[in-house]
Chains A and B, each alone.
Chain A
Amino acid sequence: MAPGRQMAEDRESRRPALRVVPGGASETRREEEALLAAFLVGDDEAFGALVHRHEGLVLAIVRRYAPTPEDARDLAQRAFLRAFEAARRALRRGPRSAVPFRRWLVRIAVNLAKNHRRDEARFIRAPLEELGEREGRPPAAPEALEAAEREARVRRAVLRLPRRQREVLTLRVDAELSFGEIADALGVTENSARVSFHHALRRLRALVLEEESP
Chain B
Amino acid sequence: MTAPCRDFEVPLSLRAARALDPAEAERLEAHLAGCAACREEAAIADELVRLARLPPPSEEERVALAHLPARTLGALQRREARRGAGKRLLVGAAVAAAAALAVLAPAILRQAPRPVPPAQGTVAAAWQEPDLDALWDDATLLVETAADQGGTGTEAALAALDAGMGD
Contacts and interface: CB of A to CB of B under 8 A. Distances in A.
B70 interface: yes
Interface string B15-49: 01101011001100000000000000000110011
B166 to A, nearest CB: 114
B52 A169 contact: yes
A154 B48 CA distance: 7
Nearest to A68: B64
Interface in A11-40: 11, 15-16, 18
A69 B49 contact: no
A15 B21 CA distance: 10
Interface residues of B, number: 38
B82 interface: no
B58 interface: yes
Contacts of B49: 173, 201
Contacts of B9: 198
A147 to B, nearest CB: 9
A48 B26 CA distance: 43
B48 to A, nearest CB: 6
Given A158-B52, A195-B10, A77 B72 contact: yes
Contacts of A47: 69, 72-73, 76
A72 B49 CA distance: 22
Contacts of A18: 21-22
Contact of B19 (A48, A132, A150, A179): A179
Contacts of A59: 57, 61, 65
Interface in A78-133: 80-81, 84, 127-130, 132-133
A156 to B, nearest CB: 11
Given A81-B79, A204-B48, A205-B48, A70 B64 contact: yes
A128 B10 CA distance: 33
Contacts of B69: 47-48, 51-52, 55
B52 A77 contact: no
Given A15-B22, A15-B26, A77-B75, A55 B55 contact: no
Per DSSP, chain B at the interface is: helix
Contacts of A154: 48, 51-52
A144 B45 CA distance: 21
B126 interface: no
Contacts of B21: 18
Nearest to B20: A194
B132 interface: no
Contacts of A169: 52
Interface in B52-105: 52-61, 63-65, 68-73, 75-76, 79
Contacts of B44: 205
In the A-B complex, list the 6 residue pairs whose CB atoms are closest, starting with the nearest. Answer: A129-B58, A69-B64, A154-B51, A198-B13, A48-B69, A51-B69
Interface of B: 9-10, 13-14, 16-17, 19, 21-22, 25-26, 44-45, 48-49, 51-61, 63-65, 68-73, 75-76, 79
17 contacts: A51-B72, A52-B69, A63-B54, A63-B57, A63-B61, A69-B64, A80-B72, A81-B72, A81-B79, A84-B76, A129-B56, A130-B55, A154-B51, A154-B52, A155-B51, A155-B52, A172-B19
Given A48-B70, A51-B68, A198-B10, 20 more contacts: A51-B72, A55-B68, A63-B57, A69-B65, A72-B65, A73-B64, A127-B54, A127-B58, A129-B56, A129-B60, A130-B55, A150-B51, A154-B52, A155-B52, A173-B17, A178-B19, A197-B13, A197-B19, A198-B13, A201-B48
